[in-house]
């Protein structure tokens, strides 16, 4: 089946993505399930490099740790992608719900322009500051060559990565989750195929992993662009919509700050963790944190998929003034998120060795990694409350609350604890302890505030 056949089998009209009809939970799941599959493939896309590199031996044994040092850079790139996509997509959904089709198309075009411009700036900046940045992020003389070899190639695909990920949400928001899923499938499957070829067959090691990633990102971006440029699309990229409008840019940035800070503060946490672990435990524990972050990516992927499903439904129904459906979406998302995260915590706690061995066969890493994993994932279900609260705030356009709780959990709680706990007698394990403490405090505060604020907001909107 070629691209046009696929698109013809999906929606062609502006009404096909009407989220104000049908059971709310079905509308959420109709988006969330394909996007969860897409997220699963995307996670595999991200972690397959680590799986292959983690099992290298000899001089290349530090390749996984070196790759982990690039995470803050990659996360910063993702933060700017989310700044525009999580700002543009909910506004796009709200405009569609309000039947303001012209504004929806302008939001689509302005978001694309912002992504393309920022991609060029970020690529140049990190090329010019690479050595200083990587040593600041916890590199050692042994791990820096691996990190630099990967990043030099990976940065070439900055534009492809940002376009493929950032613009894909607009496909999903039009009610085409299966088409959006193919974006991730294209890149991920190709990356899985190319990784062993470049890493092992061509003996390129960490450089080969980066080459495979860039090629895969190129194909994902090409798929998204073919869709958004097609004349058959209800909403597509047009030259007239690419010119930035100050009012729309402000709205996109304001709402997108939540997603930006969620990712940017993740980068800050990664930097603090790597630097502190390097001082208290050395390269071994930097590698363990790389693995735990990878396990976490796998575990949270259904929650990320759920986020992709609930935000368009929330935004559309809020714009259409269907407030009972907004309330139903919040209740369903909470139940699903907490149930899943509780089950996943139990599984990870019982089978820690299984998850660690996916990424490494080194006995020392596994031995030290098991207690670190138990601490890091303790009370993991509390994280669901943070995710639900953030997504509700973002979906309803309440950016200031979403931004605040992003900053609260990571910058105000996690980073200080990461730095302080090792000095207070917890040693290297204090770094891993900071995560569950932040989940409990940040998750409870975010969700409680969301319930109080949303109740007040919808009550006021219900007034004639």
**Does the residue 464 lie in any domain?**
no
**Does the residue 328 lie in any domain?**
yes
Alpha helices in 281-320 (DSSP H): 283-319
**Does the residue 190 lie in any domain?**
yes
Max distance between CA atoms of the chain, in angstroms, equals 72
DSSP 8-class letter at 103: H
pLDDT at 218: 95
**Does the residue 12 lie in any domain?**
no
**Does the residue 2 lie in any domain?**
no
The parts of the chain modelled with pLDDT lower than 50 are: 1-16
The whole model's pTM is what?
Answer: 0.74
Q: Name which of 206, 111, 124, 237 is nearest 162 in CA terms.
A: 111
CA 63 to chain centre: 23
The 10s digit of each residue's pLDDT in 180-239 is 777 777 888 888 899 999 998 998 989 999 999 999 999 999 999 998 998 877 788 998
Q: Name which of 197, 193, 206 is nearest 67 in CA terms.
A: 206
Name the domain count of the chain. Answer: 1
Using the structure block, give the residue that is written with the tokens 């200031």: 400
pLDDT at 15: 43
**Does the residue 310 lie in any domain?**
yes
- For 85-114, b where at least 16 C-beta lie within 10 A, e where not — what string? bbbbbbbbbbbbbeeeeebbbbbbbbbbbb
Residue 83 phi, psi (nearest 5): -55, -45
**Does the residue 6 lie in any domain?**
no
**Does the residue 215 lie in any domain?**
yes
Are 204 and 198 within 8 A, CB to CB? Answer: yes
142 exposure class (CB count in 10 Å sphere: 0-12, 13-18, 19+): middle
Structure tokens at 364: 């020392």
Are 295 and 373 within 8 A, CB to CB? Answer: yes
Q: Is the dihedral of CA 51, 298, 170, 446 positive or negative?
A: negative
pLDDT at 312: 82
- For 305-325, b where at least 16 C-beta lie within 10 A, e where not — what string? bbbbbbbbbbbbbbbbebbeb
Would you put residue 205 in left (φ > 0), alpha (ψ -120 to 50) or beta?
left
Residue 332 phi, psi (nearest 5): -65, -45
Which residues span the domain enclosing 243? 22-459
pLDDT at 10: 38
Decide: helix, strand or coil at residue 412. Answer: helix
Q: What is d(CA 273, CA 270) in angstroms, rounded to the nearest whole number?
A: 5
- Residue 213 to residues 74, 164, 176, 436, Cα–Cα distance (Å): 12, 12, 25, 32
Are 439 and 383 within 8 A, CB to CB? Answer: yes
Decide: helix, strand or coil at residue 232. Answer: coil
Structure tokens at 150: 């990967």
pLDDT at 42: 65
pLDDT at 2: 36
Alpha helices in 351-428 (DSSP H): 352-357, 363-376, 383-395, 399-407, 415-420
The 10s digit of each residue's pLDDT in 80-126 is 999 999 899 989 988 887 888 889 899 999 999 999 999 999 999 99
Are 404 and 344 within 8 A, CB to CB? Answer: no
């Amino acid at each position: 089946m070629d691209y046009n056949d696929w698109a013809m089998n999906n929606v062609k009209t502006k009404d096909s993505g009407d989220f104000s009809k049908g059971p709310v939970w079905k509308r959420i799941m109709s988006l969330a399930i394909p996007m969860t599959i897409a997220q699963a493939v995307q996670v595999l896309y991200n972690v397959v490099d680590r799986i292959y590199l983690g099992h290298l031996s000899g001089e290349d044994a530090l390749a996984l740790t070196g790759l982990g040092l690039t995470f803050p850079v990659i996360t910063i790139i993702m933060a700017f992608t989310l700044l525009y996509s999580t700002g543009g997509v909910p506004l796009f959904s709200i405009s569609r719900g309000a039947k303001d089709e012209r504004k929806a198309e302008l939001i689509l075009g302005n978001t694309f322009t912002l992504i393309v411009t920022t991609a060029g700036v970020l690529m140049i900046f990190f090329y010019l500051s690479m050595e200083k940045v990587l040593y600041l992020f916890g590199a050692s003389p042994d791990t820096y060559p691996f990190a630099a070899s990967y990043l030099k190639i990976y940065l070439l695909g900055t534009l492809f990565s940002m376009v493929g990920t950032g613009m894909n949400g607009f496909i999903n928001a039009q009610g085409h989750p299966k088409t959006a899923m193919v974006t991730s499938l294209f890149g991920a499957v190709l990356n899985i195929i190319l990784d062993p070829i470049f890493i092992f067959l061509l003996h390129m090691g960490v450089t080969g992993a980066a080459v495979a990633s860039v090629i895969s990102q190129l194909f994902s971006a090409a798929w998204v662009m073919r869709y958004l440029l097609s004349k058959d699309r209800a909403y597509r990229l047009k030259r007239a919509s690419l010119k930035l409008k100050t009012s729309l840019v402000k709205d996109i940035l304001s709402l997108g700050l939540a997603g930006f800070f969620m990712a940017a503060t993740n980068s800050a946490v990664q930097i603090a963790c790597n630097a502190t672990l390097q001082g208290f435990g050395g390269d071994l524990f930097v590698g363990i944190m790389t693995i735990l972050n990878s396990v976490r990516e796998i575990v949270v992927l259904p929650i990320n998929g759920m986020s992709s499903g609930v935000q368009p439904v929330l935004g559309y129904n809020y714009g259409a003034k269907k407030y009972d459906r907004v309330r139903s979406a919040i209740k369903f998302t909470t139940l699903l998120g907490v149930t899943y995260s509780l089950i996943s915590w139990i599984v990870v706690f019982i089978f820690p060795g299984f998850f660690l061995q996916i990424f490494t066969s080194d006995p020392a890493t596994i031995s030290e990694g098991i207690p670190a994993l138990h601490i890091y994932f303790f009370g993991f279900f509390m994280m669901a409350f943070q995710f639900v609260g953030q997504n509700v705030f973002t979906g309803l356009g309440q950016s200031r609350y979403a931004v605040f709780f992003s900053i609260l959990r990571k910058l105000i709680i996690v980073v200080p604890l990461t730095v302080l706990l090792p000095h207070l007698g917890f040693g290297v394990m204090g770094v891993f302890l900071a995560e569950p403490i932040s989940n409990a405090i940040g998750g409870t505060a975010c969700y409680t505030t969301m319930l109080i604020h949303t109740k007040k907001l919808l009550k006021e909107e219900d007034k004639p």
